[in-house]
Structure 1
Protein backbone atom coordinates (compact mmCIF):
# COMPACT_ATOMS: atom_id res chain seq x y z
CA UNK A 1 0.00 0.00 0.00
CA UNK A 2 1.28 3.50 -0.90
CA UNK A 3 2.02 5.77 2.07
CA UNK A 4 0.78 9.37 1.72
CA UNK A 5 2.58 12.39 3.11
CA UNK A 6 -0.47 12.97 5.28
CA UNK A 7 0.04 9.55 6.84
CA UNK A 8 3.48 10.45 8.23
CA UNK A 9 3.29 10.70 12.02
CA UNK A 10 3.49 14.22 13.44
CA UNK A 11 6.57 13.34 15.43
CA UNK A 12 8.47 12.58 12.26
CA UNK A 13 7.87 16.07 10.70
CA UNK A 14 10.15 18.07 13.02
CA UNK A 15 12.86 15.54 12.44
CA UNK A 16 12.48 16.00 8.69
CA UNK A 17 12.58 19.81 9.03
CA UNK A 18 15.63 19.58 11.24
CA UNK A 19 17.31 17.33 8.76
CA UNK A 20 16.56 19.79 5.93
CA UNK A 21 17.87 22.76 7.96
CA UNK A 22 20.94 20.80 8.84
CA UNK A 23 21.46 19.94 5.21
CA UNK A 24 21.19 23.68 4.33
CA UNK A 25 23.73 24.63 6.95
CA UNK A 26 25.92 21.84 5.79
CA UNK A 27 25.69 23.08 2.23
CA UNK A 28 26.66 26.63 3.30
CA UNK A 29 29.56 25.28 5.28
CA UNK A 30 30.53 23.13 2.31
CA UNK A 31 30.69 26.28 0.20
CA UNK A 32 32.67 28.10 2.91
CA UNK A 33 29.87 30.55 3.99
CA UNK A 34 29.20 30.69 7.72
CA UNK A 35 25.61 31.83 8.67
CA UNK A 36 26.89 34.76 10.76
CA UNK A 37 29.15 35.88 7.93
CA UNK A 38 26.23 35.76 5.51
CA UNK A 39 24.03 37.93 7.75
CA UNK A 40 26.89 40.38 8.29
CA UNK A 41 27.37 40.73 4.52
CA UNK A 42 23.67 41.44 4.07
CA UNK A 43 23.76 44.09 6.83
CA UNK A 44 26.79 45.77 5.27
CA UNK A 45 25.12 45.81 1.85
CA UNK A 46 21.95 47.33 3.37
CA UNK A 47 24.00 50.01 5.17
CA UNK A 48 25.87 50.87 1.97
CA UNK A 49 22.57 51.27 0.11
CA UNK A 50 21.20 53.48 2.88
CA UNK A 51 24.28 55.71 2.79
CA UNK A 52 24.07 56.07 -0.98
CA UNK A 53 20.42 57.12 -0.68
CA UNK A 54 21.23 59.66 2.05
CA UNK A 55 24.06 61.04 -0.07
CA UNK A 56 21.70 61.46 -3.03
CA UNK A 57 19.14 63.20 -0.80
CA UNK A 58 21.80 65.54 0.61
CA UNK A 59 23.06 66.30 -2.90
CA UNK A 60 19.50 67.10 -3.99
CA UNK A 61 19.01 69.41 -1.01
CA UNK A 62 22.23 71.25 -1.78
CA UNK A 63 21.19 71.63 -5.41
CA UNK A 64 17.77 73.01 -4.40
CA UNK A 65 19.38 75.40 -1.92
CA UNK A 66 21.82 76.59 -4.59
CA UNK A 67 18.90 77.20 -6.97
CA UNK A 68 17.04 79.21 -4.32
CA UNK A 69 20.10 81.36 -3.57
CA UNK A 70 20.59 81.83 -7.31
CA UNK A 71 17.05 83.20 -7.65
CA UNK A 72 17.66 85.69 -4.82
CA UNK A 73 20.89 86.94 -6.41
CA UNK A 74 19.20 87.14 -9.82
CA UNK A 75 16.47 89.35 -8.32
CA UNK A 76 19.11 91.57 -6.73
CA UNK A 77 20.77 91.95 -10.13
CA UNK A 78 17.47 92.83 -11.80
CA UNK A 79 16.79 95.44 -9.11
CA UNK A 80 20.17 97.08 -9.67
CA UNK A 81 19.72 96.97 -13.45
CA UNK A 82 16.34 98.64 -13.13
CA UNK A 83 16.96 101.38 -10.58
CA UNK A 84 20.71 101.98 -10.82
CA UNK A 85 21.57 101.22 -14.44
CA UNK A 86 18.24 102.53 -15.71
CA UNK A 87 17.22 99.56 -17.85
CA UNK A 88 13.76 99.81 -19.34
CA UNK A 89 11.29 97.86 -17.18
CA UNK A 90 8.81 97.58 -20.04
CA UNK A 91 10.95 94.80 -21.50
CA UNK A 92 12.89 93.84 -18.38
CA UNK A 93 9.71 92.91 -16.50
CA UNK A 94 8.25 90.43 -19.02
CA UNK A 95 11.66 88.97 -19.93
CA UNK A 96 12.64 88.58 -16.29
CA UNK A 97 9.32 86.98 -15.35
CA UNK A 98 9.50 84.54 -18.27
CA UNK A 99 13.11 83.61 -17.43
CA UNK A 100 12.22 82.98 -13.79
CA UNK A 101 9.29 80.75 -14.73
CA UNK A 102 11.38 78.75 -17.20
CA UNK A 103 14.09 78.25 -14.58
CA UNK A 104 11.53 77.21 -11.96
CA UNK A 105 9.97 74.63 -14.26
CA UNK A 106 13.40 73.34 -15.21
CA UNK A 107 14.14 72.89 -11.51
CA UNK A 108 11.01 70.78 -11.11
CA UNK A 109 8.50 73.21 -9.62
CA UNK A 110 4.91 72.43 -10.60
CA UNK A 111 2.32 74.97 -11.71
CA UNK A 112 0.56 74.39 -8.40
CA UNK A 113 3.74 75.27 -6.46
CA UNK A 114 4.03 78.40 -8.58
CA UNK A 115 0.43 79.45 -7.86
CA UNK A 116 -0.53 79.09 -11.50
CA UNK A 117 -2.44 75.80 -11.57
CA UNK A 118 -5.48 75.99 -13.83
CA UNK A 119 -7.90 74.75 -11.16
CA UNK A 120 -7.03 77.71 -8.90
CA UNK A 121 -7.59 80.48 -11.48
CA UNK A 122 -11.28 81.11 -10.70
CA UNK A 123 -10.72 81.24 -6.94
CA UNK A 124 -7.75 83.55 -7.37
CA UNK A 125 -9.72 85.92 -9.57
CA UNK A 126 -12.54 86.11 -7.03
CA UNK A 127 -10.11 86.98 -4.25
CA UNK A 128 -8.34 89.51 -6.47
CA UNK A 129 -11.50 91.31 -7.51
CA UNK A 130 -12.69 91.43 -3.90
CA UNK A 131 -9.45 93.07 -2.80
CA UNK A 132 -9.66 95.61 -5.63
CA UNK A 133 -13.12 96.63 -4.42
CA UNK A 134 -11.94 97.06 -0.82
CA UNK A 135 -8.89 99.13 -1.81
CA UNK A 136 -11.01 101.34 -4.07
CA UNK A 137 -13.33 102.17 -1.17
CA UNK A 138 -10.39 102.98 1.12
CA UNK A 139 -8.78 105.22 -1.50
CA UNK A 140 -12.04 106.99 -2.18
CA UNK A 141 -12.43 107.81 1.50
CA UNK A 142 -8.80 108.94 1.58
CA UNK A 143 -9.12 111.55 -1.14
CA UNK A 144 -12.48 112.82 0.10
CA UNK A 145 -10.98 113.68 3.49
CA UNK A 146 -8.78 116.80 3.31
CA UNK A 147 -6.57 115.53 6.13
CA UNK A 148 -5.49 112.45 4.15
CA UNK A 149 -5.75 113.83 0.61
CA UNK A 150 -2.14 115.07 0.60
CA UNK A 151 -0.92 111.46 0.81
CA UNK A 152 -2.12 111.04 -2.79
CA UNK A 153 -0.33 114.13 -4.12
CA UNK A 154 2.65 112.32 -5.62
CA UNK A 155 4.51 114.40 -8.22
CA UNK A 156 5.20 111.29 -10.32
CA UNK A 157 1.49 110.88 -10.89
CA UNK A 158 0.51 114.49 -11.56
CA UNK A 159 -0.61 113.35 -15.01
CA UNK A 160 -3.28 114.09 -17.60
CA UNK A 161 -6.09 111.53 -17.72
CA UNK A 162 -4.69 109.70 -20.76
CA UNK A 163 -1.27 109.40 -19.15
CA UNK A 164 -2.81 108.15 -15.92
CA UNK A 165 -4.79 105.46 -17.74
CA UNK A 166 -1.69 104.34 -19.65
CA UNK A 167 0.31 104.20 -16.44
CA UNK A 168 -2.38 102.35 -14.47
CA UNK A 169 -3.35 99.76 -17.08
CA UNK A 170 -0.14 99.22 -19.06
CA UNK A 171 3.06 100.57 -17.54
CA UNK A 172 2.53 99.45 -13.93
CA UNK A 173 1.11 95.99 -14.73
CA UNK A 174 3.75 95.20 -17.36
CA UNK A 175 6.72 97.06 -15.93
CA UNK A 176 6.21 96.39 -12.21
CA UNK A 177 3.50 93.98 -11.14
CA UNK A 178 4.28 91.17 -13.59
CA UNK A 179 7.90 90.79 -12.52
CA UNK A 180 7.36 91.37 -8.79
CA UNK A 181 4.48 88.94 -8.46
CA UNK A 182 6.16 86.20 -10.49
CA UNK A 183 9.40 86.78 -8.59
CA UNK A 184 8.16 86.93 -5.00
CA UNK A 185 4.77 85.18 -4.82
CA UNK A 186 5.41 82.56 -7.51
CA UNK A 187 9.01 81.50 -8.19
CA UNK A 188 10.72 82.51 -4.95
CA UNK A 189 7.68 81.28 -3.01
CA UNK A 190 7.92 77.89 -4.71
CA UNK A 191 11.65 77.53 -4.09
CA UNK A 192 11.38 78.58 -0.43
CA UNK A 193 8.56 76.10 0.15
CA UNK A 194 11.06 73.31 -0.52
CA UNK A 195 13.08 74.28 2.54
CA UNK A 196 10.73 75.88 5.05
CA UNK A 197 7.27 75.83 6.58
CA UNK A 198 4.58 77.98 5.07
CA UNK A 199 4.77 80.75 7.67
CA UNK A 200 8.53 80.92 7.15
CA UNK A 201 8.02 81.16 3.39
CA UNK A 202 5.55 84.00 3.96
CA UNK A 203 7.93 85.93 6.23
CA UNK A 204 11.06 85.39 4.12
CA UNK A 205 9.43 86.36 0.82
CA UNK A 206 7.86 89.45 2.44
CA UNK A 207 11.14 90.64 3.98
CA UNK A 208 12.91 90.28 0.64
CA UNK A 209 10.01 92.10 -1.02
CA UNK A 210 10.54 94.95 1.43
CA UNK A 211 14.26 95.22 0.62
CA UNK A 212 13.37 95.14 -3.08
CA UNK A 213 11.93 98.67 -2.59
CA UNK A 214 15.03 100.33 -1.13
CA UNK A 215 15.98 102.10 -4.37
CA UNK A 216 12.45 103.36 -5.17
CA UNK A 217 12.17 104.66 -1.61
CA UNK A 218 15.20 106.88 -2.11
CA UNK A 219 13.26 108.91 -4.69
CA UNK A 220 9.96 109.13 -2.83
CA UNK A 221 11.19 111.57 -0.16
CA UNK A 222 11.32 114.37 -2.72
CA UNK A 223 8.51 113.19 -5.00
CA UNK A 224 5.68 112.89 -2.51
CA UNK A 225 4.51 116.04 -0.73
CA UNK A 226 3.10 114.26 2.31
CA UNK A 227 6.16 112.08 2.81
CA UNK A 228 8.55 114.99 2.35
CA UNK A 229 6.79 117.18 4.91
CA UNK A 230 6.52 114.32 7.40
CA UNK A 231 10.27 113.70 7.50
CA UNK A 232 11.51 117.25 6.92
CA UNK A 233 12.23 117.73 10.65
CA UNK A 234 14.66 114.81 10.62
CA UNK A 235 17.15 116.74 8.50
CA UNK A 236 19.97 114.51 7.19
CA UNK A 237 18.19 111.41 8.51
CA UNK A 238 15.07 112.07 6.44
CA UNK A 239 16.04 109.75 3.60
CA UNK A 240 17.00 106.99 6.02
CA UNK A 241 13.59 107.30 7.67
CA UNK A 242 11.81 107.17 4.32
CA UNK A 243 13.76 104.11 3.18
CA UNK A 244 13.23 102.30 6.49
CA UNK A 245 9.54 103.14 6.54
CA UNK A 246 9.09 102.05 2.94
CA UNK A 247 10.85 98.74 3.52
CA UNK A 248 8.69 98.08 6.57
CA UNK A 249 5.47 99.13 4.83
CA UNK A 250 6.12 97.07 1.69
CA UNK A 251 7.19 94.07 3.77
CA UNK A 252 3.86 94.23 5.60
CA UNK A 253 2.15 94.57 2.23
CA UNK A 254 4.07 91.50 1.14
CA UNK A 255 2.71 89.60 4.12
CA UNK A 256 -0.85 90.52 3.13
CA UNK A 257 -0.26 89.67 -0.53
CA UNK A 258 1.40 86.40 0.44
CA UNK A 259 -1.49 85.48 2.71
CA UNK A 260 -3.91 86.09 -0.17
CA UNK A 261 -1.77 83.85 -2.36
CA UNK A 262 -1.65 81.18 0.34
CA UNK A 263 -5.37 81.18 1.07
CA UNK A 264 -6.44 81.19 -2.57
CA UNK A 265 -3.63 78.98 -3.86
CA UNK A 266 -3.42 81.35 -6.82
CA UNK A 267 -1.08 84.13 -7.86
CA UNK A 268 -4.04 86.06 -9.25
CA UNK A 269 -5.21 87.02 -5.75
CA UNK A 270 -1.98 88.83 -4.88
CA UNK A 271 -1.85 90.31 -8.39
CA UNK A 272 -5.26 91.88 -7.74
CA UNK A 273 -4.06 93.44 -4.50
CA UNK A 274 -0.84 94.66 -6.13
CA UNK A 275 -2.69 96.28 -9.02
CA UNK A 276 -5.21 97.88 -6.68
CA UNK A 277 -2.62 99.47 -4.38
CA UNK A 278 -0.41 100.73 -7.22
CA UNK A 279 -2.63 101.45 -10.20
CA UNK A 280 -5.65 102.66 -8.28
CA UNK A 281 -3.22 104.86 -6.36
CA UNK A 282 -2.33 106.55 -9.64
CA UNK A 283 -5.95 107.01 -10.70
CA UNK A 284 -7.05 108.35 -7.34
CA UNK A 285 -3.90 110.47 -7.23
CA UNK A 286 -4.99 112.22 -10.41
CA UNK A 287 -8.36 112.87 -8.81
CA UNK A 288 -6.67 114.17 -5.65
CA UNK A 289 -4.64 116.67 -7.71
CA UNK A 290 -7.85 117.87 -9.34
CA UNK A 291 -9.53 118.33 -5.96
CA UNK A 292 -6.49 120.17 -4.56
CA UNK A 293 -6.29 122.59 -7.50
Structure 2
Protein backbone atom coordinates (compact mmCIF):
# COMPACT_ATOMS: atom_id res chain seq x y z
CA UNK A 1 0.00 0.00 0.00
CA UNK A 2 2.80 2.42 0.85
CA UNK A 3 4.49 1.67 -2.44
CA UNK A 4 1.27 2.39 -4.31
CA UNK A 5 0.73 5.70 -2.53
CA UNK A 6 4.29 6.74 -3.21
CA UNK A 7 4.08 5.97 -6.91
CA UNK A 8 3.73 9.31 -8.72
CA UNK A 9 2.55 7.75 -11.97
CA UNK A 10 -0.54 6.27 -10.31
CA UNK A 11 -3.41 8.78 -10.83
CA UNK A 12 -5.53 7.13 -8.15
CA UNK A 13 -2.75 7.41 -5.58
CA UNK A 14 -2.16 11.06 -6.52
CA UNK A 15 -5.85 11.81 -6.01
CA UNK A 16 -5.83 10.13 -2.60
CA UNK A 17 -2.84 12.21 -1.59
CA UNK A 18 -4.58 15.38 -2.76
CA UNK A 19 -7.71 14.48 -0.79
CA UNK A 20 -5.58 13.69 2.26
CA UNK A 21 -3.99 17.15 2.03
CA UNK A 22 -7.45 18.77 1.88
CA UNK A 23 -8.57 16.76 4.92
CA UNK A 24 -5.50 17.88 6.90
CA UNK A 25 -6.24 21.49 5.98
CA UNK A 26 -9.91 21.16 6.98
CA UNK A 27 -8.89 19.55 10.28
CA UNK A 28 -6.48 22.42 11.02
CA UNK A 29 -9.25 24.94 10.31
CA UNK A 30 -11.63 23.12 12.65
CA UNK A 31 -9.02 22.83 15.40
CA UNK A 32 -8.18 26.51 15.21
CA UNK A 33 -11.86 27.37 15.56
CA UNK A 34 -12.32 25.08 18.57
CA UNK A 35 -9.10 25.37 20.55
CA UNK A 36 -7.82 28.25 22.68
CA UNK A 37 -5.96 30.99 20.76
CA UNK A 38 -2.69 29.87 22.33
CA UNK A 39 -2.80 26.72 20.22
CA UNK A 40 -3.15 28.57 16.91
CA UNK A 41 0.54 28.72 15.97
CA UNK A 42 1.37 25.10 16.99
CA UNK A 43 -1.62 23.81 15.02
CA UNK A 44 -0.61 25.81 11.94
CA UNK A 45 3.04 24.70 12.14
CA UNK A 46 2.08 21.03 12.63
CA UNK A 47 -0.40 21.15 9.73
CA UNK A 48 2.16 22.82 7.44
CA UNK A 49 4.78 20.17 8.25
CA UNK A 50 2.28 17.37 7.71
CA UNK A 51 1.22 18.83 4.35
CA UNK A 52 4.84 19.02 3.20
CA UNK A 53 5.39 15.40 4.26
CA UNK A 54 2.31 14.33 2.29
CA UNK A 55 3.52 16.24 -0.77
CA UNK A 56 7.01 14.78 -0.58
CA UNK A 57 5.59 11.30 -0.08
CA UNK A 58 3.51 11.79 -3.22
CA UNK A 59 6.68 12.42 -5.21
CA UNK A 60 6.79 16.21 -5.39
CA UNK A 61 10.23 17.82 -5.18
CA UNK A 62 11.24 20.89 -3.18
CA UNK A 63 11.27 22.81 -6.46
CA UNK A 64 7.70 21.65 -7.21
CA UNK A 65 6.62 23.08 -3.85
CA UNK A 66 8.34 26.42 -4.40
CA UNK A 67 10.88 25.63 -1.70
CA UNK A 68 13.91 24.95 -3.87
CA UNK A 69 17.16 26.82 -3.38
CA UNK A 70 17.54 27.74 -7.05
CA UNK A 71 14.59 30.16 -7.06
CA UNK A 72 14.98 31.40 -3.49
CA UNK A 73 17.33 34.28 -4.29
CA UNK A 74 15.13 35.62 -7.09
CA UNK A 75 12.07 35.14 -4.89
CA UNK A 76 13.70 37.09 -2.08
CA UNK A 77 14.28 40.08 -4.36
CA UNK A 78 10.65 40.00 -5.45
CA UNK A 79 9.51 39.62 -1.86
CA UNK A 80 11.44 42.63 -0.56
CA UNK A 81 10.03 44.88 -3.28
CA UNK A 82 6.47 43.68 -2.69
CA UNK A 83 6.69 44.04 1.09
CA UNK A 84 8.07 47.59 0.78
CA UNK A 85 5.30 48.53 -1.66
CA UNK A 86 2.62 47.24 0.72
CA UNK A 87 4.00 49.23 3.65
CA UNK A 88 4.14 52.43 1.58
CA UNK A 89 0.58 52.02 0.29
CA UNK A 90 -0.79 51.21 3.76
CA UNK A 91 0.96 54.21 5.32
CA UNK A 92 -0.51 56.44 2.62
CA UNK A 93 -3.96 54.96 3.29
CA UNK A 94 -3.64 55.69 6.99
CA UNK A 95 -2.51 59.26 6.31
CA UNK A 96 -5.39 60.13 3.97
CA UNK A 97 -8.66 61.11 5.75
CA UNK A 98 -11.00 59.39 3.28
CA UNK A 99 -9.30 55.99 3.64
CA UNK A 100 -8.42 56.12 7.34
CA UNK A 101 -11.73 54.56 8.41
CA UNK A 102 -10.74 51.29 6.73
CA UNK A 103 -8.11 50.87 9.46
CA UNK A 104 -10.63 51.15 12.32
CA UNK A 105 -10.72 47.52 13.42
CA UNK A 106 -11.67 46.44 16.94
CA UNK A 107 -9.69 43.22 16.64
CA UNK A 108 -6.47 45.23 16.53
CA UNK A 109 -7.61 48.17 18.65
CA UNK A 110 -7.96 46.03 21.78
CA UNK A 111 -4.43 44.62 21.62
CA UNK A 112 -1.72 45.65 24.05
CA UNK A 113 1.68 46.57 22.60
CA UNK A 114 3.00 43.13 23.58
CA UNK A 115 0.06 41.37 21.92
CA UNK A 116 0.59 43.45 18.79
CA UNK A 117 4.25 42.42 18.59
CA UNK A 118 3.21 38.78 19.04
CA UNK A 119 0.63 39.06 16.27
CA UNK A 120 2.98 40.74 13.80
CA UNK A 121 6.15 38.75 14.51
CA UNK A 122 4.82 35.33 15.56
CA UNK A 123 1.13 34.63 14.88
CA UNK A 124 1.04 36.11 11.37
CA UNK A 125 4.29 34.71 9.90
CA UNK A 126 4.51 31.39 11.79
CA UNK A 127 0.77 30.74 11.96
CA UNK A 128 -1.41 32.29 9.27
CA UNK A 129 1.12 32.86 6.50
CA UNK A 130 3.14 29.67 6.99
CA UNK A 131 0.11 27.38 6.81
CA UNK A 132 -1.79 29.23 4.10
CA UNK A 133 1.17 29.65 1.75
CA UNK A 134 2.49 26.13 2.24
CA UNK A 135 -1.02 24.74 1.79
CA UNK A 136 -2.52 26.84 -1.01
CA UNK A 137 0.47 28.07 -3.03
CA UNK A 138 2.79 25.20 -2.16
CA UNK A 139 1.25 21.77 -1.68
CA UNK A 140 -2.25 22.04 -3.20
CA UNK A 141 -1.06 24.15 -6.14
CA UNK A 142 1.75 21.70 -6.94
CA UNK A 143 -0.48 18.63 -6.59
CA UNK A 144 -3.17 20.00 -8.91
CA UNK A 145 -0.61 21.40 -11.35
CA UNK A 146 1.08 18.02 -11.70
CA UNK A 147 -2.13 16.46 -12.98
CA UNK A 148 -4.14 19.28 -14.59
CA UNK A 149 -1.68 22.11 -15.23
CA UNK A 150 -1.06 25.58 -13.75
CA UNK A 151 -4.39 27.16 -14.74
CA UNK A 152 -6.47 24.60 -12.89
CA UNK A 153 -3.97 24.64 -10.04
CA UNK A 154 -4.54 28.39 -9.63
CA UNK A 155 -8.33 28.05 -9.94
CA UNK A 156 -8.61 25.23 -7.39
CA UNK A 157 -6.13 26.75 -4.95
CA UNK A 158 -7.75 30.20 -5.09
CA UNK A 159 -11.30 28.89 -4.66
CA UNK A 160 -10.26 26.87 -1.62
CA UNK A 161 -8.35 29.89 -0.29
CA UNK A 162 -11.52 31.97 -0.56
CA UNK A 163 -13.63 29.35 1.23
CA UNK A 164 -10.95 29.10 3.94
CA UNK A 165 -11.89 32.67 4.94
CA UNK A 166 -15.60 32.04 5.57
CA UNK A 167 -15.15 31.56 9.32
CA UNK A 168 -12.84 34.52 10.07
CA UNK A 169 -14.92 36.94 7.97
CA UNK A 170 -18.16 36.29 9.88
CA UNK A 171 -17.30 38.95 12.45
CA UNK A 172 -16.04 41.49 9.94
CA UNK A 173 -19.01 43.89 10.16
CA UNK A 174 -18.82 43.92 13.97
CA UNK A 175 -15.10 44.61 14.10
CA UNK A 176 -14.53 46.97 11.17
CA UNK A 177 -16.36 50.29 10.91
CA UNK A 178 -15.80 50.62 7.16
CA UNK A 179 -17.16 47.11 6.51
CA UNK A 180 -20.24 47.84 8.59
CA UNK A 181 -20.84 51.06 6.68
CA UNK A 182 -20.64 49.23 3.36
CA UNK A 183 -22.50 46.00 4.14
CA UNK A 184 -24.71 46.92 7.10
CA UNK A 185 -24.88 45.55 10.62
CA UNK A 186 -27.66 42.93 10.36
CA UNK A 187 -27.59 39.30 9.27
CA UNK A 188 -27.82 40.31 5.62
CA UNK A 189 -24.76 42.48 6.17
CA UNK A 190 -22.87 39.50 7.57
CA UNK A 191 -23.80 37.40 4.53
CA UNK A 192 -22.72 40.15 2.14
CA UNK A 193 -19.48 40.71 4.03
CA UNK A 194 -18.63 36.99 4.04
CA UNK A 195 -19.42 36.71 0.33
CA UNK A 196 -17.26 39.73 -0.45
CA UNK A 197 -14.42 38.39 1.75
CA UNK A 198 -14.51 34.98 0.05
CA UNK A 199 -14.52 36.57 -3.41
CA UNK A 200 -11.79 39.03 -2.45
CA UNK A 201 -9.50 36.44 -0.93
CA UNK A 202 -10.05 34.13 -3.90
CA UNK A 203 -8.90 36.93 -6.22
CA UNK A 204 -5.97 37.60 -3.90
CA UNK A 205 -5.21 33.88 -4.16
CA UNK A 206 -4.96 34.20 -7.94
CA UNK A 207 -2.38 36.98 -7.53
CA UNK A 208 -0.41 34.98 -4.97
CA UNK A 209 -0.47 31.89 -7.19
CA UNK A 210 0.77 33.93 -10.14
CA UNK A 211 3.63 35.32 -8.05
CA UNK A 212 4.53 31.79 -7.04
CA UNK A 213 4.33 30.56 -10.66
CA UNK A 214 6.39 33.36 -12.18
CA UNK A 215 9.08 33.38 -9.51
CA UNK A 216 9.15 29.61 -9.00
CA UNK A 217 9.33 30.30 -5.27
CA UNK A 218 7.02 30.65 -2.28
CA UNK A 219 9.06 33.61 -1.01
CA UNK A 220 7.19 36.37 -2.93
CA UNK A 221 3.68 35.30 -1.83
CA UNK A 222 4.95 34.75 1.71
CA UNK A 223 6.50 38.23 1.81
CA UNK A 224 3.40 39.91 0.35
CA UNK A 225 1.09 38.00 2.68
CA UNK A 226 3.19 38.82 5.76
CA UNK A 227 3.36 42.49 4.80
CA UNK A 228 -0.39 42.78 4.21
CA UNK A 229 -1.42 41.04 7.43
CA UNK A 230 1.33 42.50 9.59
CA UNK A 231 0.88 46.06 8.33
CA UNK A 232 -2.88 45.66 8.68
CA UNK A 233 -2.61 44.80 12.36
CA UNK A 234 0.04 47.44 13.10
CA UNK A 235 -1.69 50.31 11.32
CA UNK A 236 -5.15 49.43 12.66
CA UNK A 237 -3.62 49.44 16.15
CA UNK A 238 -1.96 52.79 15.45
CA UNK A 239 -5.16 54.28 14.01
CA UNK A 240 -7.12 53.33 17.14
CA UNK A 241 -4.64 55.37 19.18
CA UNK A 242 -4.91 58.47 17.04
CA UNK A 243 -1.73 57.98 15.03
CA UNK A 244 -1.74 59.02 11.40
Q: TM-score, normalised by structure 2?
A: 0.91
Deviations 1:91-121 (A, max 9, x none): 1011111111111111111001000011111
**Take 2:184 and 2:175, find their aligned partners in 1: how far apart are those partners?**
13
Q: How far apart are residue 162 of structure 1 and its match? A: 3.3
Q: Is the 8 A contact 1:83 1:216 kept in 2?
A: no
1:136-195 per-residue CA deviation (whole Å, 9 max, x = no partner) reads 111011101111111111111113433322211111111211111111111111111122
Q: Does structure 2 conserve the Cα–Cα contact (< 8 Å) formed by 1:142 and 1:149?
A: yes
Q: Can you list the C-alpha shifts for 1:228-282, whole angstroms capped at 9, x where unaligned?
A: 222226x331111011011011111111111111111001111001101101111
Match of 1:156 in 2: 107
> Which residue of structure 1 aligns with residue 130 of structure 2?
178
Question: d(CA) in 2 for partners of 1:262 and 1:107?
Answer: 20
Equivalent position of 1:67 in the other structure: 17
Q: Secondary structure at the match of 2:173?
A: helix
Structure 2 match to 1:77: 27
Among 247, 258, 263, which residue is 2:198 paired with? 247
Deviation of 1:77 after TM superposition, in Å, equals 1.9
CA distance in 2, matches of 1:84, 1:238: 25
Residues 272, 160 of structure 1: alpha-carbon distance in 2 compared, 3 angstrom cutoff: same
Q: Distance in 2 between matches of 1:126 and 1:58?
A: 33
Q: 1-side partners of 2:149 and 2:50: how far apart?
A: 26
C-alpha contact (below 8 Å) 2:8/2:58 kept by paired residues: no
Which residue number in structure 2 is paired with residue 270 of structure 1? Answer: 221
Q: Secondary structure at the match of 1:274?
A: helix
Which residue is equivalent to 2:4?
A: none
Aligned partner of residue 194 in structure 1, secondary structure: helix
Cα gap change, 1:264 to 1:237, in 2 (>3 Å): same
CA distance change for structure 1 residues 279 and 147 in 2, over 3 Å: closer, same or farther? same
58-67 or 144-153, larger mean C-alpha shift: 58-67
Match of 2:147? 195
Provide the residue aligned with 1:237 in structure 2. 188
Residue 280 in structure 1 maps to residue 242 in structure 2: no
**Equivalent-residue separation in structure 2 for 1:250 and 1:130 (angstroms):** 21
Q: Which residue of 2 aligns with 1:124?
A: 75
Which entry has the higher C-alpha Rg, 1 or 2? 1
In structure 2, C-alpha distance between the alignment counterparts of 1:152 and 1:76, rounded to whole Å: 30
Aligned residues: CA RMSD:
1.9
- TM-score normalized by structure 1? 0.76
Count matched residues. Answer: 236
Q: Classify the secondary structure of the residue corresponding to 2:167.
A: helix
Question: Gapped runs of 5+ residues in structure 2?
Answer: 1-6
